[in-house]
Structure 1
Amino acid sequence: MAYQTFQEEYMQTPPITRAYTTTCVLTTLAVQLDVITPFQLYFNPDLILNHLQLWRLVTNFMYFGTIGFNFLFNMIFTYRYCRMLEEGSFRGRTADFFFMFVFGGTIMTIIALFVNLVFLGQAFTIMLVYVWSRRNPYIRMNFFGLMNFQAPYLPWVLLGFSVLLGNPIIVDFIGIAVGHVYYFLEDVFPSQPGGFKLLRTPGFLKTILDPAAEDPNYNPLPEEERPVGLSGGRTGSTRGPARRGEAGGGGQPREVVAGHSI
């Protein structure tokens, strides 16, 4: 029964979220079982350019460390915010969502050439959190019962939590910066006087990824009824190889649980 429930939930997950989280889990399991090692996955420009190990451009976004609490919480963050974006502001626009992945990953890869970061998965998660938070500005959140705030402050709360834990905050800054660049180019600049849309999804992606017609029976769980993340689970470091949201409810803030005690 539990297996059938899990299978149904898994198959109802939108395609980009399902593909990304599945590859992250399988990559971590492969490392845990010694099928591969982190040294085969991390971002290394020399190996990419001189030895054509091009897979490193992708695999460094898929490894979140060995299986443990840090991995679990990162997967929860990635799954929830990725899914809420894909079912929310990117509903029916799978190609646009995939293009956001490509855009964000490309900018982070360029940044990684100049900083000492070899795994960018956590930065990518923060980017997803940032874009979701800016597209849902009126959702109110609670951090372990300690503080209440509106969604746009969530990335900064997570950054402050990293500071308290003594973790490097460069990962959070990169995710926030790339998320803001995407949000500005996609949501802000086109609506300004004289502005125009700079990010355009290639037509071939729309042909491949966007269905001809949306399934009329598809009914995702309303955002206000879903927990949006476990705000306290990002504890690891990544150094070393080891359509817009709506406020809802007449513009009144909604109380959404952002985390709970473990």
Structure 2
Amino acid sequence: MPVGIEAWFNQVPPITRCWLACAVLTSLAVQCQMITPLQLYFSYKSTFKNVQLWRAFTTFFYFGNISIDFVFHLFFFMRYSRMLEESSFSHRRADYFWMLFQSAVMLLMLSPLVNMPFLSSPLAFVPIYIWSRRHPNTQISLFGIVTITAPYLPLALVAFSWLLNGTWRAAAGDLLGCAVAHLAWFVRDVWAREMLGSQGIWSEAPEGL
């Protein structure tokens, strides 16, 4: 690995860095035919009845074969997950992990309802959505073509994924991620502040995590 890439990788915050490494290694393993997607997808029958518990984790790391869509999702996830971890959660890494864990559990529960075996893309949209909500006045230039404010970023990325793949079903996972992320944002930034007046178990990691 070139020194420049290694230095950059080591500067990425730990949770984002671990997730990024697992995603890249998983796709490379599939690309090199060391494993197959059939060994990675999530289903209740395979995971719990057949006791293949690793599927509850690998479903969040496989972004598909290395392609334009893979690079698109990985780039935006890494960029905004890093920015969120370095800003809102800079001294609260456990809370960031707790938010992702709660979102992952919700996605696992919803997966059978939407027939979605891979949940990496939906979970990747959680930090993108949360960051966009917490920086509502930030101007973002998309590919140097159009400038939007941060709250419109998730919808713009969903639309781009739709155009990139040519079918709305390709963006269904991103929309699911936005829905779960909206709930996570509401619980932390609206409910906890306005209704409870403080943080709670849903927004703060349990002690010892």
TM norm structure 1: 0.74
Q: Distance in 1 between matches of 2:7 and 2:160?
A: 35
- Write out aligned runs for 1:130-169 (5 A): 130-164=129-163, 165-168=166-169, 169=171
Instruction: Tell me which protein shows more helix as a share of its residues.
Output: 2
- Name the CA shift for 1:145/1:6 in 2 (closer, same or farther; >3 Å): closer
- Name the CA shift for 1:194/1:48 in 2 (closer, same or farther; >3 Å): closer
Distance apart, 1:196 and its partner CA: 4.7
Q: Distance in 2 between matches of 1:25 and 1:158?
A: 21
**What are the superposed Cα offsets for residues 238-262 of structure 1, whole Å, 9 maximum, x if unpaired?**
xxxxxxxxxxxxxxxxxxxxxxxxx
The percentage of aligned residue pairs carrying the same residue is 39
Aligned to 1:119: 118
Distance apart, 1:171 and its partner CA: 1.0
* Secondary structure of 1:43 counterpart: coil
Distance apart, 1:22 and its partner CA: 0.2
Aligned to 1:170: 172
**What are the superposed Cα offsets for residues 85-133 of structure 1, whole Å, 9 maximum, x if unpaired?**
1111100111011111101100111110211101111111112210010
Aligned to 2:199: 197
Does the 8 A contact of 2:69 with 2:161 survive in 1?
no
Where structure 1 has 5 or more consecutive residues not aligned to the other structure, the ranges are 206-262
* Secondary structure of 1:192 counterpart: helix
Does the 8 A contact of 1:189 with 1:197 survive in 2?
no
* Secondary structure of 1:142 counterpart: strand
Name which of 184, 187, 194 aligns with 2:186.
Answer: 184
Q: Distance in 2 between matches of 1:126 and 1:146?
A: 22
Aligned to 1:35: 34
**What are the superposed Cα offsets for residues 149-186 of structure 1, whole Å, 9 maximum, x if unpaired?**
21001111122233443231321221111111111101
Larger CA Rg, structure 1 vs 2? 1
Distance apart, 1:148 and its partner CA: 2.3
Q: How many residues get paired?
A: 204
Does the 8 A contact of 2:107 with 2:119 survive in 1?
yes
Answer 1 or 2: higher relative contact order, Cα 8 Å, separation at least 6.
1
Where structure 2 has 5 or more consecutive residues not aligned to the other structure, the ranges are none
Aligned to 1:212: none
* Secondary structure of 1:67 counterpart: coil
